[in-house]
Structure 1
């Protein structure tokens, strides 16, 4: 017995008419009749009683109908599972990120992404802003995350979050003059800075 035979049987049983069932299924009436006949012959049963030009379910057909429907429902459920699985997003995603983002902002977001898309392979490259920009430009990374300005005119930029910088000094540090209220004058301070491009 095949799923097609079961579909035809259920359609004929529900409509009580071979031609209407065939039209519904988009097959010829002779194909529908042949499927029913084959199903009956395979199992040595009579599923329908022919009454003039109409047909009605025989006792065996009435007993078989709920089982046939259940099989078709299970087959549909199995089909849906495969459809869902086939839509699983796979592939790889390469991210370049600056040091601060990679250390503090990115980890929990990567964990959430991996939970949502476990079949996607993730890789992260860490560098300064200029290195991240170069990595994206040469195609090594799919996208980059930086805090600093980038120079390239061909990259598209989007703000994904905000960061607040804070100046922290030792209690023994001399008072810092303010350019305006709440804005320290940092131009006269001595700095230890990172490499160019950071």
Structure 2
């Protein structure tokens, strides 16, 4: 039991002394990327932060879902340390040294349902139990929110390892969404 508590508490202690923009999944917001032109509602955006490599398995360290466009600006919903929120795609991209935009192979109806589910989670707290996943939870981590939105929206399951794996345990990491056969890259850029 002590080992389990240590496994959970050490990362939390580290995070307590980090700014939210640096901890786990975000850089300082100074990266520049060309703005993608082929964006669609329901797309998944993943980002890589070198400061998170030690903690999050796989290359990609954060994920969000494109939810709407307003006045030429796209917006994404993400599970962040302050809770599930909506920010601009431009703000999201500026935090990461590398970003990719993924298209999910499914119908427009499923994408709309997934977006509606993700938006309905606004304000829910961050889920630090990243080794598990749930569709209808009271809190979410980034890739869990994106994955749950597509499951609740009618599929597909965009977790490349939907059951237990030694690398990802029972959770779903941004890398697994990137690697899944139901997603494909429509934009990728390294700063």
Q: Which has the larger radius of gyration?
A: 1
Name the one with the larger strand percent.
2
**Which structure carries more relative contact order (alpha carbon 8 Å, separation 6+)?**
2
Name the one with the larger helix percent.
1
Structure-2-length-normalised TM-score: 0.19
Structure-1-length-normalised TM-score: 0.19
